[in-house]
Structure 1
Amino acid sequence: MKKNVRFLIVICLLAMLSLLALQAYWIVKYYQVTRFNFEKEVNMAFEDAVKKEFSVRCDTVQQLIENKLMDTTQFIFSSNLDKEGTRIYNILAKGKSKNKMLSSFSFNELPDSIGPGNEQMKRKVAQHFAEQLRSEDLENHVVYYRTHELGAFMIDKANKYQFDTTRLRPILNHYLEARNIEIPYQFLTLKHDSTTNSSHFSQKLTRNFPVISKSFPTYRYTDNQRYVRAMFRNPASYIISNMGLILVSSILLVLLIAACLSFMLKSLFREKKLALIKDDFISNITHEFKTPIATVSVAIEALEEYDVRHDEHKTSRYLDHAKNEIQRLNQLVDKIMNLSLYEGEQTGFHKESIPVDEVMQEIIQIYEVSSDKKPDIHYENKSGVLQFGVDKLKFRHAISNILDNSIKYSKINPAINIDLFKENGHLVFRFQDNGIGIPEKDLSFVFDKFYRVNKGNRHLVKGYGLGLNYVKQILQQHKGWYRIESELGIGTTIMLGWPI
């Protein structure tokens, strides 16, 4: 049995450790995957933000070019039909000697001619030409030579509205918020950098900013801000928030399995304990049954002899022995049967008002007269209660069991003090004896059925482990309570609270 229990415990512990290891492995893997996804998301957001910031700058410069082209003091708009009848639009720059052709193009969406005062058509032509300059020059990060200082104007505005982290930050915040990312970050601008490598950063920097985005060129050549990165603080809060469901489910699963294993082991140990207690009870009860049976058998054998049957004194004595032992057997059977009835709540409950002092004195007198140890029992009622309602028979049984234990487990001259007092609507009976005491480890079990405090492999006093459990059942029927305190070699104090 012990080997099987040890084996089962080892198996349960191994299963629990394996489950914890497996859960830890999957959580770590999920953490790594979530961190990889975080790095991917911030890189995508940063790339979109850099592109958007550049697009905003291009929009600004394009609008400035369009406004400049609409300056009639510098530019002239005209249109004509070519040999195929296609409308051609011309933009000419005014010069000191003569006008210079700046651009000539056709545009199917503008079929009308440009007449004097047609500002709407001029605006559309200017917009088209500004878009053309944007796609050919600005978006390729180069400005080609343009007549009438238009190229110089574009370079001046491109330098004025060049890359700026102040403009980039709100754009990046927008893209991060769209991805539910709220991790603090900083920008890193460098003169020299690689768009493919991020392993050359110092350990101090990577400790403070574990996640660093890819590098993107800024095309800002006026200072050292030619490349830019976004550096993010530890993303643990983001990762854990995304792992919330799996973390909670893993913890709940582990706790559930641990609770099941714990319940199973507790049940196993309880059953093992009950089996030992049951074996001990059977051993004791068998001995208690055998003794009166043997005595009755001897008495009957003696009565079968002819000489004894004619001796009235011997016959009476043997019959008395047999009668006493049969009564003892009957009491033992009644005690076991009564306990079973109490547990099944099948016994009747006849509450009546009893004179507490009178009943207590009757019980005390019985034990003072019948006990071989001649106990000194002192009784005092401090409660002022003279009558209270209980089931009289069960009350007597409960008090008798406590007194019986106090005497059985006492020294040569047992001294028992019984006092009554009121506490929280209960009449409390306190029994204090000078017996052998109960070890602290056994105190919480002495009211369990069949439980007996042992000394090594033997019990010092014969019994069945039923008395205190019997008291417990009676108090539960009365909705009362019980408490016990004990110290080895000093004695035991038991309190029974009966509702009044």
Structure 2
Amino acid sequence: MLKKYKILVVTIVLSLLGIGAIVAVWLYGGYVNKREIFVTEVERSLFNAIQSYYDEHQNMINEKRDQNISKEGRLLAKRIKSIYSNVDEERVQALWDSLVQERMLRYSKRREAKKEAGEPTAIMPSFMLQNITFSEATIAEISLLLEETLTSKGIEIPVHIVVKNIKDAHRGQGKYRIKVATDGTISTRPVLVDPGEDEYLIAKFEQPLFYLLSKMAVQIAVSVLLILALIGAFIYLLWTINRQNKLALLRKSFVNNMTHELKTPVATVMAAVESIQRYGARDDRDKMEQYLRISHRELEHLANMIEKVLQLDIDEVTGVNLRMTEVDLAKLLEEGVEIAELGAKKEVSIDFVGRLPKLSLIADAGHLKNVINNLFDNAIKYSHDSVKIQVGLKEENGTVVLSIADNGLGIDPIYFKDIFEVFFRVPSGNLHPVKGFGLGLAYVKQVVKQHGGTIKVDSILGKGTVFILTIPTQ
């Protein structure tokens, strides 16, 4: 059983680790996806900031653009002139200027048409960026515009814009994606702003960990709840298996103990009857009386054991079947004291703490009497030759409080919860000097619970034990 239990524990742990790994990969994939979306949002906001900068400085930028266009036209005319000497440079220049102006005019008309229609305007084409001089003042102004754009979207992170020279050889093959540095700094995809100098515009910012996690709050909450539910289910499974295993061992011990206890009185009575039948004990009055006394004692012991087992015949769902009537608890205690003192084979002294008050409550008299008798019986059995029991009874806020304290062997605190379990007996090695089956306290707890009350125990090894019962009067 132990080997199977270990295999089950290992299987559960590996299952939890596997499920945890799957959830972790799923969460990390979600985090990476959210990061990609976030970086895309920053890039879009960066273009919007540049667009706003362009709109605010359009005249200056257009002037520079015209100068660049004119310069490119002159270079083109000279190159053509060097190849075809009879070409008129001025006509080539005029044709170039006309084509460029037509191109810009079409772009402006499309943009204005979209503005009038209320449609989002297209991001300015990349060739327009070449007309902007990205000086420190320009970058500072664009940074401010970018900050305002991000703030309007609920994103508050510092973004640093830089112009960096990147040679083709250092850009690698394929599409240049976002870059995450070892310190967590993220760089957006570079935007070409000066082809001649291989200069690119890049936005850098620290990885917004908490912002991204807040966007994943639902995923994280569901994952945590799922993992906790699984851990709870596995813990409960292990607890149940451990409890069933423990109960099975206790049942086995109970059956062995009960078998031995039942065989002893039966064997003794059979021996006494056989002596009477075979050896003429019926003619000897003294022996006859002795054998009958022994038989009566053993049969009484057998009847007590059967009664203990019958008391445990409790339905697991509904509990004991109670017949509620008005009960005089003080009277039940007095009867219990009388039975305990008469039936004890030790010197027993049972005293009440103070004057015994008259208390009545709605309860099952028969089961409540059995509870008192069980507690007195345990106090006597698990004590030394001289037994002293203190009984306290009082009423507090509509609740009866009954305490029964003895000067017996005591119970180790580690067994306080276990002693109320069916078949459990406090370990004392392989020997049990006091006969019993571990049924009494389980029955007591069940009856008290059925009455809506509680039972507590406090004990010091070698000095004694006290049981405290609280039962509502109604």
TM-score normalized by the length of structure 2: 0.74
Give aligned pairs, total. Answer: 417
Structure 2 equivalent of residue 87 of structure 1: none
1:468 aligns with 2:441: yes
- Higher helix content, 1 or 2: 2
Amino acid at match of 2:398: G
- Paired letter, 1:43: E
Shift of the 276–208 alpha-carbon distance from structure 1 to 2, 3 Å rule, reads closer
Structure 2 gap segments, 5+ residues each: 66-93, 110-125, 173-179
| Residue number among 305, 308, 319 corresponding to 1:335 in the alignment | 308
Distance 1:382 1:241 in 2: 67
Letter in 2 for 1:194: I
1:193 lines up with 2:165 in the alignment: yes
Give 1:489's match in structure 2, choosing from 458, 462, 470: 462
Matching of residue 255 in structure 1 with residue 228 in structure 2: yes
Aligned to 1:213: 188
Provide the alpha-carbon RMSD of the alignment.
4.2
Which residue number corresponds to residue 343 of structure 2? Answer: 370
Matched, 1:32 2:39: no
Cross-structure match for 1:349: 323
Per-residue CA deviation, residues 448-478 of structure 1 (Å, 9 max, x unaligned), is 2111111123333210111111211221232
Q: Is the 8 A contact 1:410 1:435 kept in 2?
A: yes
Query: How far, CA to CA, are the matches of 1:341 and 1:362 in structure 2?
Result: 25
Q: Which SS does the other structure have where 1:211 is aligned?
A: strand
Matched to 1:20, the amino acid is G
1:12 matched to 2:12? The reply is: yes
Specify the SS of the correspondent of 2:264: helix
Larger mean CA deviation between 383-392 and 8-17 belongs to: 383-392
Using the TM superposition, give the Cα deviation of residue 168 of structure 1 relative to its aligned residue in structure 2, in angstroms: 3.1
| Mapped contact 2:49–2:142 kept (Cα < 8 A) | yes
1:341-366 deviation per Cα after TM superposition (whole angstroms, max 9, x unaligned):
46554534142332x44443332233
Shift of 1:212: 2.6
Aligned residue for 1:422, secondary structure, equals strand
SS in 1 for 2:419: coil
Question: Match for residue 302 of structure 1?
Answer: 275
Q: 1:43 to 1:348 in 2, by over 3 A?
A: closer
Q: Secondary structure at the match of 1:340?
A: coil
Contact 1:426 1:497 in 2 (8 A): yes
CA distance in 2, matches of 1:380, 1:471: 22
Query: Separation in 2 of the partners of 1:133 and 1:305?
Result: 130
Name 2:83's counterpart in structure 1: none
SS for the counterpart of 2:302 is: helix
Give distance in 1, aligned partners of 2:378 and 2:288. Answer: 35
Tell me if the contact between 2:320 and 2:447 (Cα under 8 Å) persists in the aligned partners: no
Q: TM-score, normalised by structure 1?
A: 0.70
Does residue 277 of structure 1 match 2:250? yes
Gaps in structure 1 of 5+ consecutive residues: 66-102, 108-126, 144-157, 200-204, 220-225
User: Partners in 2 of 1:418 and 1:50 — Cα distance?
Assistant: 90
Other-structure match for 1:243: 216
Separation in structure 1 between the aligned mates of residue 129 and residue 232 of structure 2, nearest angstrom: 67
Q: Which deviations, in whole Å up to 9, do the C-alpha atoms of 1:125-144 show, x marking residues without a partner? A: xx999949989xx976899x
Give the superposition deviation at 1:61. Answer: 6.9
In 2, Cα distance between the equivalents of 1:162 and 1:217?
17
Q: Which residue of 1 aligns with 2:73?
A: none
Conserved? CA contact 1:342–1:474, under 8 Å: no
Contact kept in structure 2, 1:186 and 1:231, CA below 8 Å? yes
Of 123, 132, 142, the residue aligned with 1:168 is 142
Deviation at 1:241, TM superposition (A): 3.2
Instruction: Specify whether residues 274 and 132 from structure 1 end up closer, same or farther in structure 2 by C-alpha distance, changes over 3 A only.
Output: closer
